[in-house]
């Protein structure tokens, strides 16, 4: 059996908050199988972004382990970790993070250039076609719609052929139609074998995944396989309610 794409064991992350320490992650055990598409949901502040950053090697956890394709990240020094981030993982952000002065094709090629690697224009063209933007290679970001910008960002995340693509609310800045285009694309990538971990607040977005993990207060408290949007929405409503009850109780004390 090959190693899962991502495995975490007793992953904990504590921040030094102004009003005392904040335990953003309190013991996360996670196995993401290769080629699966996992959505992470939970109330605001439940630790979703922190989990994504720790799993992707962007943040060093306080304790516990992260393995990416069988490689234990805590065994890597900063140089090796940076190399792993450049070569083994891809990122998609809510705000696209494209460079405005570069064309779509140049934005997509940037991870390779930053890594002093050879750029093959045929590979770039194939990726543009794969995200449905075959005729937009010379457009700059301000000449593209939100959905098109995010599809460029997805192509950029794929150029290094990463083990895992991590996305933090990739449809958060998009209208319903563009969001659906991006989610359909992400679903296709997963069907082609790309491992994807996506944080989202949107039950419809989560319903494109194979499995939803629900986070509350730094812990995985529930899972839903083959999720439907109404089922996800109903579990989220319960979680948000109990998070609010807990916050109110803490305020009363």
> Footprint of ligand ATP on this chain (CB under 6 A)?
15, 17, 22, 24, 42, 44-50
Q: How far is the CB of 186 from Mg ion (least distance, A)?
A: 18
Cβ neighbours of residue 92 closer than 8 Å, sequence gap 6 or more: 150, 153, 154, 157, 165, 166, 167, 168, 170
Q: How many CB atoms lie within 10 A of CB 249?
A: 9
Between 71 and 243, CB nearer to Mg ion: 243
Q: How far is the CB of 80 from Mg ion (least distance, A)?
A: 27
Between 159 and 179, CB nearer to Mg ion: 179
Please choose which of ligand ATP, Mg ion, none residue 27 contacts, taking the beta carbon within 5 to 8 angstroms, the exact cut-off set by kind.
Answer: none
Q: How far is the CB of 121 from Mg ion (least distance, A)?
A: 36
* CB-count exposure of residue 196 (10 Å: 0-12, 13-18, 19+): buried
DSSP string, 158-185: HTT--SEEEEESTTTTS-HHHHHHHHHH
Q: How far is the CB of 101 from ligand ATP (least distance, A)?
A: 29
Between 59 and 139, CB nearer to ligand ATP: 59
Between 26 and 139, CB nearer to ligand ATP: 26
Q: What token pair was written down for 166?
A: 């991590």
Q: Which residues contribute to the site for Mg ion (CB under 5 A)?
A: 48-49
């Amino acid at each position: 059996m090959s190693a899962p794409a991502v495995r975490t064991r007793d992953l904990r992350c504590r921040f030094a908050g102004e009003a005392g320490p904040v335990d953003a992650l309190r013991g996360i055990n996670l196995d993401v199988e290769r080629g699966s598409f996992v959505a992470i949901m939970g109330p605001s502040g439940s630790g979703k972004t922190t989990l994504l950053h720790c799993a992707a090697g962007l943040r060093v956890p306080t304790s516990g382990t992260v393995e990416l394709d069988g490689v234990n990240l805590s065994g890597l020094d900063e140089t090796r970790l940076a190399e792993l981030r450049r070569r083994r993982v891809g990122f998609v952000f809510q705000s696209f993070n494209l460079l405005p002065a570069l064309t779509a094709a140049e934005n997509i090629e940037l991870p390779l250039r930053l890594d002093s690697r050879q750029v093959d224009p045929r590979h770039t063209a194939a990726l543009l076609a794969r995200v449905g933007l075959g005729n937009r290679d010379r457009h700059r970001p301000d000449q593209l719609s939100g959905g098109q910008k995010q599809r460029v960002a997805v192509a950029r995340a794929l150029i290094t052929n990463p083990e895992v693509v991590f996305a933090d609310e990739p449809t958060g800045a998009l209208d319903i139609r563009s969001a659906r285009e991006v989610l359909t694309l992400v679903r296709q990538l997963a069907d082609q074998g790309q491992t994807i971990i996506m944080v989202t607040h949107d039950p419809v977005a989560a319903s494109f995944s194979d499995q939803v993990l629900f986070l509350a207060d730094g812990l995985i408290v529930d899972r839903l396989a083959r999720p439907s949007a109404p089922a996800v929405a109903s579990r989220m409503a319960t979680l948000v309610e109990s998070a609010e009850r807990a916050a109110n109780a803490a305020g009363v004390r």
